[in-house]
Amino acid sequence: MTRVWIAVVIIGAATVALKAAGPVLLGGRELPARVRALVGLLAPALLAALVVTQTLASDRHVVVDARLAGVAAAAATLRLRVPILVAVAVAAAVTAAIRAL
C-alpha cells in the first residue's frame, strides 16, 4: 500500500470511531443532570472556538485577513435579524471583494 492509501484508510477508521464514540457507547441513554449541564455548554464553547480559529487562524499563526472583515460583516447583518444564509452570503461576498482589490 502506498502512503496515500495508508493515510486514507487509517484516518477514515479513526474518524468513524470518533464520531461513533458518543452514540455507540452512550446511545439513547439520558445523561445525569450534572453531566447534562456540562454537555449543554459544549455547543456554545465548541462553536465559539470554531468561529475564532476559522476566522483568525492560519495553520499555527493568528492572522488578520479578509476573512475577519467578512465575518464581521456577517455579525453586523445578524444584528439586523436577517436569515442566517444572508449573513453567510455576506461573509463570502465581503471576503471575496476584499481579496479582489
Partner 1 sequence: MPIGIAVLLFGVSFGLLARSVGMGRVAPIVMSATTFAGSAQFAAASILHAGGTAAAAILAAVLLNVRYAPISISVADLFGGAAPKRLVQSQLIVDESWALAARGGGRFDRDLLLGAGLLLYPCWVGGTALGVLGGGLLGDPARLGLDAAFPALFLALLVPQLAGRHALAAAVAAAAIALALVPVAPPGIPIVASSAACLIGWRRR
- Binding residues among 22-51 for partner 1 as defined by CB under 8 A: 22-31, 33-34, 36-51
Site string for partner 1, 66-95 (x = CB under 8 A): xx--xx--xx--x-----xx-xxxxxxxxx
Interface size with partner 1, residues (CB under 8 A): 77
Q: How far apart are CA 86 and CA 80, in angstroms?
A: 11
Asked if 98 and 67 touch (Cβ cutoff 8 Å), the reply is no
Distances (CA, A) of 22 to 14, 16, 67: 14, 11, 33
Residue 64 is a binding residue for partner 1 (CB under 8 A)? no
CA dihedral 6, 12, 14, 20 (to 10 degrees): -160
CB of 13 to partner 1, least distance (A): 8
CB of 25 to partner 1, least distance (A): 7
